Amino acid sequence: MISLVSRRLASWRLVPGLLVALALSVGGQSPDPNTDFLRALGQFSLALDGAYGDEGHGIRSSLESMGRALDRWDETIRTAEAAMAAAVAGADPGPAAAMHATLGGAYLDRGRIADALREFTTAAQLDPARPELYTLQGLVLSQGVNDDAAATDAFRKAAALDARNPVRWYMLARQLEKTGAAEERTRTLQTFQQSWDQAANGKGRSAIAPPFSRLGLLQEKSRVEPFFPPVLYAEGFARLQRGDYRGAIDQFGEAAARDPLAAAPVERSEAMGQAATAIRDGSIDAAIRHLTVAIELAPDRAEAHRLLGAVYLASQQGDEAIGELEAAVRLSPGDERTHLALANALVVTGRYPDAERSLHQLIAVLPGSGRARYALGRLYQRQGDYENALREFESSIAFHPLLGLNGIYQSMGAINAARQHFDAAIDAYSSRVDVHPNDADAHQDLGDTYLRLGRHDEALAEFAMTLMLATGRAGAYAGMAEVHLKEGRYADAVEASRRALDLDGDHRQARYSLATALLRLGRTEEGQTELAAFQRLQADDAAARARSLELGGLKREASEHSANGDHEKAVALLRRALDLEPNDAVSHLNLGLALLYAGHAADAIERFESAVALKAPPDVHRHLAEAYAALGRDEDSRRELALYQQLQQDSLRRAGGNR
């Protein structure tokens, strides 16, 4: 997650002597001060979730760690500045440029944008033949100071100096998209494609290290839930994103002083501490007991209600959870964490209108809650209300999630694509590429959408970028093959299809493209062979689809009969389903249930045991307990119930540990 700029520059050969000093600031070994700073920031951010209720100490200590790391970080930069001042005077232009560039990278990580730009500019003046300097200038100009014209110029220079490097052309093309220079962009995309072809053919097709950098403390990651700064701490996170790290720590400290989660230990009861320990251990009953005591001791403290609600929810006691969380909201109507927990409980229990109302109340109280906006977007999306979902996602972006922005754009792109709003989908997917340019999936999705719109040059560029980041993507080659087929470049289509099939011999689209391209080229015999292979794949698909549809139908009908109390019919249908899919744990479980309700407890036990062997969800033990009880085997029943409760606790503990 750490910014890549310094690390990339650190690999540049520097003059002896200076290297040691600069390595302290930018070397990337752990523990170095910026890594320490980020680690402490991560701990601080996670603690703000307040999952256990005893995070106050963690919040305070991580803030102290951030402060100490920042002191060391600034000190190493000062050391580097002094070392460079001494060394750069007599250095040749090349090494001097390297020193300036390295220092610029250190400034960039530290959020000192203007200083970084100055150093990169000086470096470029000293050694104007180095394309990476212009790329860095371009990054700072486009992302740091929003000077798109100057950024475009910088990317242009980088591409001209390093014409065989497709990444430089790609970056220029993306920058040109911002400035609306359509013709130059088209030319640039074509040049990118040529350089990609040459690079790919020359080097083989190994993936390159993540080639793109983004300014900022943290780099995006795929498939993470967005992290929105809590409202109470929002100003601190905003300062962090502006590069004012020290101001951020100060604000975090002030916010923590107002945060009930971070209240001093003296203000917290012993019962609350015991409850936190119980939650960490996954001991639900104990946690409930301690929290109940805490509430009896201080009934007007919202925190105990909030935690009790969370524990109830984890133990699937939805109504009790909602009751406690509502009490917590009443006691602390301005607490974002509590509101969100209530909304989550309402969602989990399927009370969507109440959840929506709850989130709107939160937004009314705390308009700055990005979390509420995002949660509302997800809620609308879950209900198929895509228009409102898009609006809320769009709103949430304005609250600058620290991480996970790419996921929001991904959702927006997918929703827009499903609604056939392809221009909007392209905007969203394009923004996703901007914030997470090293994500192959982002490029593939953008390429697929361009392909759908018939924007072939752009589609090819995105597929090529996908393959630079992840060489094993058969889908990207298949997409390229489709573009070539549509453009009548049959030989290219054959090559791209074959590459896709090298990666995935069962890739239907690639096999079909290959066959079609061969037939178009008049290579009829080869084409027919490929068509035959494609037909075999199709036949497999048809058989699987038919089986799946039949299974689905049987399960639906069984469910229908069960709902109507006709368990014998459900049993018959589920037996047929199991004939088709003998290793489906859920079908075994459902058959067990149908047998149990039909009065065949012994047979039900057999099915439940099969479900256990196939790793069915923990619920199966609860049902086993019921079946044993029905047969009067009380000891077995108690054993299964205990096992069920144990599994529930483990699950809760894991959930806590994963936070």
Partner 1 sequence: MTRRWPLLRLLFFVLTPLAASQSPAPERFVRFDNVAVTAGLDFRHVNGASAARHLPEIMSGGGLFFDYDNDGWIDLFLVDGGSLTDASVAARARHRLYRNRGNGTFEDATARSGIQHTGYGMGACAADYDNDGWPDLYVTNVGPNVLYHNNGGRTFTDATRTAGVGSRSFGASCAFADLDRDGDVDLFVTNYVDARVDNNIFCGDTASRLRVYCHPLNFAPLQSVLYRNNGDGTFSDVSAAAGIAPRRGNGLGVVIGDYDDDGWPDIFVANDMTPNFLYHNEGRAIFKEMALAAGVALPIDGKPRAGMGTDFADYNGDGRLDLFVTNHELEMHTLYRNLGAGLFADTTSESRIGLETLPYVGFGTLFLDYDNDGDLDLAVVNGHVMNDSGHFRPGAKEAQRKLLFRNDGGGRFKEVGRQSGPGFAVEGVGRALAAGDIDNDGDLDLMVTNNGGMVDLLRNDDGPEDHSLLVRLQGTRSNRSAIGARVLLTAGGATQMREVKAGSSYLAQSDLRVHFGLGRTTRIDRLEIRWPDGASEVVQDVPVNQIVSVVEGKGITERRGNLGMRN
CB of 383 to partner 1, least distance (A): 10
Tokens at 624, concatenated: 């086993």
Burial class (CB in 10 A: 0-12, 13-18, 19+), 414: middle
CB of 556 to partner 1, least distance (A): 5
For partner 1, the closer of residues 223 and 556 by Cβ is 556
Is residue 535 part of the contact set for partner 1 (CB under 8 A)?
A: yes
For the segment 488-527, give every residue that binds partner 1 (CB under 8 A): 488, 508-509, 511-513, 515-516, 519-520, 527
Is residue 293 part of the contact set for partner 1 (CB under 8 A)?
A: no
Please state, in angstroms and rounded to a whole number, the distance separating the CA atoms of residues 46 and 29.
24
Three-state secondary-structure class, residue 575? helix
CB of 384 to partner 1, least distance (A): 6
403: β partners: 227
| 163 to 158, 177, 191, 475, 555: CA distances (angstroms) | 8, 19, 9, 27, 59
Is residue 411 part of the contact set for partner 1 (CB under 8 A)?
A: no
Is residue 384 part of the contact set for partner 1 (CB under 8 A)?
A: yes
Three-state secondary-structure class, residue 403? strand
What DSSP assignment string belongs to 49-100? T-SSS-THHHHHHHHHHHHHHHHHHHHHHHHHHHHHHHHHTTS-HHHHHHHH
Is residue 391 part of the contact set for partner 1 (CB under 8 A)?
A: no
CB of 277 to partner 1, least distance (A): 39
Is residue 542 part of the contact set for partner 1 (CB under 8 A)?
A: yes
- DSSP 8-state assignment for residue 227: B
Is residue 531 part of the contact set for partner 1 (CB under 8 A)?
A: yes
- Whether 166 contacts 468, CB under 8 Å: yes
Is residue 557 part of the contact set for partner 1 (CB under 8 A)?
A: yes
Is residue 385 part of the contact set for partner 1 (CB under 8 A)?
A: yes
- In this chain, which of 79, 422, 489, 639 binds partner 1, going by CB under 8 A? 422
Three-state secondary-structure class, residue 165? coil
Is residue 244 part of the contact set for partner 1 (CB under 8 A)?
A: no
Please state, in angstroms and rounded to a whole number, the distance separating the CA atoms of residues 618 and 622.
7
The DSSP H or E segment spanning 427 is: helix 422-435
For partner 1, the closer of residues 360 and 545 by Cβ is 545
CA 64 to chain centre: 29
Please state, in angstroms and rounded to a whole number, the distance separating the CA atoms of residues 57 and 49.
13
Tokens at 382, concatenated: 């879950």
For partner 1, the closer of residues 78 and 419 by Cβ is 419
Is residue 563 part of the contact set for partner 1 (CB under 8 A)?
A: yes
Q: Determine phi and psi for 403, rounding to 5 degrees.
A: -145, 160
Please state, in angstroms and rounded to a whole number, the distance separating the CA atoms of residues 632 and 636.
9
CB of 422 to partner 1, least distance (A): 7
CB of 497 to partner 1, least distance (A): 10
Q: At what angle do helices 336-348 and 370-382 cross, to 10 degrees?
A: 10
Is residue 603 part of the contact set for partner 1 (CB under 8 A)?
A: no
Q: Which stretch binds partner 1 (CB under 8 A): 63-71, 321-329, 469-477, 535-543?
A: 535-543
Q: Determine phi and psi for 342, rounding to 5 degrees.
A: -65, -45
SS (H, E, C) 152-163: HHHHHHHHHHCC
Applying CB under 8 A, what is the total number of residues that bind partner 1? 40
Is residue 534 part of the contact set for partner 1 (CB under 8 A)?
A: yes
Q: Which stretch binds partner 1 (CB under 8 A): 210-218, 555-563, 586-594, 608-616?
A: 555-563
Q: Which stretch binds partner 1 (CB under 8 A): 142-150, 196-204, 269-277, 446-454?
A: 446-454
Is residue 20 part of the contact set for partner 1 (CB under 8 A)?
A: no
2: β partners: 218
Tokens at 560, concatenated: 């229908």
- Contact residues for 593 (Cβ-Cβ < 8 A; gap 6+): 562, 604, 623
Q: Which stretch binds partner 1 (CB under 8 A): 216-224, 359-367, 559-567, 593-601?
A: 559-567
For partner 1, the closer of residues 93 and 553 by Cβ is 553
For partner 1, the closer of residues 72 and 520 by Cβ is 520
For partner 1, the closer of residues 81 and 550 by Cβ is 550
- In this chain, which of 418, 580, 613, 655 binds partner 1, going by CB under 8 A? 418
Is residue 543 part of the contact set for partner 1 (CB under 8 A)?
A: no
Which residue from 648, 639, 591 is spatially nearest to 614, judged by alpha carbons? 591
- In this chain, which of 92, 270, 387, 540 binds partner 1, going by CB under 8 A? 387
CB of 252 to partner 1, least distance (A): 41
Is residue 486 part of the contact set for partner 1 (CB under 8 A)?
A: yes
For partner 1, the closer of residues 456 and 633 by Cβ is 456
Residue pointed to by tokens 């929506």: 356
- In this chain, which of 257, 546, 602, 642 binds partner 1, going by CB under 8 A? 546
Q: What share of the chain is helix, strand, coil (3-state, %, to 5)?
A: 75, 0, 25
- In this chain, which of 75, 560, 568, 579 binds partner 1, going by CB under 8 A? 560
Binding characters for partner 1, 334-373, by CB under 8 A (x = yes) = ----------------------------------------
CB of 500 to partner 1, least distance (A): 12
For partner 1, the closer of residues 240 and 573 by Cβ is 573
Which residue from 219, 221, 252, 220 is spatially nearest to 235, judged by alpha carbons? 252
Q: Which stretch binds partner 1 (CB under 8 A): 54-62, 194-202, 252-260, 448-456?
A: 448-456
291: β partners: none
CB of 557 to partner 1, least distance (A): 6
Please state, in angstroms and rounded to a whole number, the distance separating the CA atoms of residues 156 and 173.
9
227: β partners: 403
- Contact residues for 183 (Cβ-Cβ < 8 A; gap 6+): none
CB of 553 to partner 1, least distance (A): 5
CA within 13 Å, CB half, 45 = 19
218: β partners: 2
- In this chain, which of 194, 559, 645, 651 binds partner 1, going by CB under 8 A? 559
Which residue from 125, 127, 143, 128 is spatially nearest to 5, judged by alpha carbons? 143
Residues at the interface with partner 1 (CB under 8 A): 384-387, 418-420, 422, 452-454, 482, 485-486, 488, 508-509, 511-513, 515-516, 519-520, 527-528, 531, 534-535, 538, 542, 545-546, 549, 553, 556-557, 559-560, 563
